[in-house]
Amino acid sequence: MATSTGTAESEALTADGMGAGEGVRRRDFIEIAAVSAAGVGGAAILIPLISQMAPSRDVLAESSTELDISAIEPGQAIKAVFRKQPLFVRNLTPQEMEQANAVPVSSLRDPESLADRTKEGHTNILVTMGVCTHLGCVPLGAGEGENRGEFGGYFCPCHGSSYDTAGRIRKGPAPANLVVPDYQFTTDTTIVIG
């Protein structure tokens, strides 16, 4: 159809504008062209209508968080906010790190070592999202005196998932370890998440 030219077509037209005999008629061409243009135009309108529901620029602008971790003593944890979600930063004690490294990685539900989940040279700093991988509750254990569960890490009170000192799932319904977000050490005591 795209190759048929105006002259070729108009020769095939009779006085009433209708095609005579075989071949593509002018009216078919106009109809298909008009409906296609309207269809493509209509579909293009869906782009803004769908895209407007995605995170807006002010939400995306909050997508990185800078954190000073110098005040966290070994054994302590803090809660911060990253993308409107809780973030746990924990300074592990040597015993806790030993406890985490003592577990054979292959025996875990979601096999990762402590080294996999921390940055080189800062294996004592465990940065995880405070969002249970089961259904999104906030686990306990970051605050002073909270229940850390039977593996000494975090314990989710909603459905009883227990995480160990490396934030790895050890017991309960959660399918995966607490998520380690993308982050960088910008200095020895400052991290930027996101």
Partner 1 sequence: MSFPWARVYEPKLPLMRYLDEKLPLPRFVYNAVGAGYPVPRNLNYFWNFGVLAGFALVLQIVTGVVLAMHYAANASVAFNSVEHIMRDVNWGWALRYAHANGASFFFVVIYLHIFRGLFYSSYKAPREMIWLIGVVIFLLLMATAFMGYVLPWGQMSFWGAQVITGLFSAIPLVGEPLQVWLLGGFAPDNAALNRFFSLHYLLPFVIVGCVILHIWALHIPGSSNPTGVEVKSESDTVPFHPYYTAKDGFGLGVFLIIYCVITFFQPNALGHPDNYIPANPLSTPAHIVPEWYFWPFYAILRAFTADFILPAKLWGVLAMFSAILCWFFLPWLDKSPVRSGHYRPLFRKFFLFGLLPAMALLFYCGGAPAEEPFVMLSQLATAYYFLHFLVILPIVSSIERPEPLPYSITEAVLGEDKQAVLGENARPPL
- Residues classed as catalytic: 159
Measured from the CB atom, is 38 or 192 closer to partner 1? 38
CB of 56 to partner 1, least distance (A): 4
Measured from the CB atom, is 8 or 30 closer to partner 1? 30
Q: How many C-beta neighbours within 10 Å does residue 192 have? A: 13
Residue 10, both tokens: 């108009």
Residue 147, both tokens: 């229940």
CB of 9 to partner 1, least distance (A): 17
Measured from the CB atom, is 58 or 73 closer to partner 1? 58
Helix boundaries (H) for the chain: 6-11, 26-51, 57-61, 94-101
CB of 29 to partner 1, least distance (A): 14
| CA–CA separation, 62 and 60 (whole Å) | 5
Q: What residues contact 150, with CB distance under 8 A and at least 6 apart?
A: 162, 171
CB of 49 to partner 1, least distance (A): 6
Residues that bind partner 1 (CB under 8 A): 18, 34, 38, 47-49, 51-54, 56-59
Q: What residues contact 20, with CB distance under 8 A and at least 6 apart?
A: 12, 13, 14
Measured from the CB atom, is 54 or 102 closer to partner 1? 54
Whole-angstrom Cα Rg for the chain: 30
Question: Is the Cα dihedral 38, 39, 44, 46 positive or negative?
Answer: positive
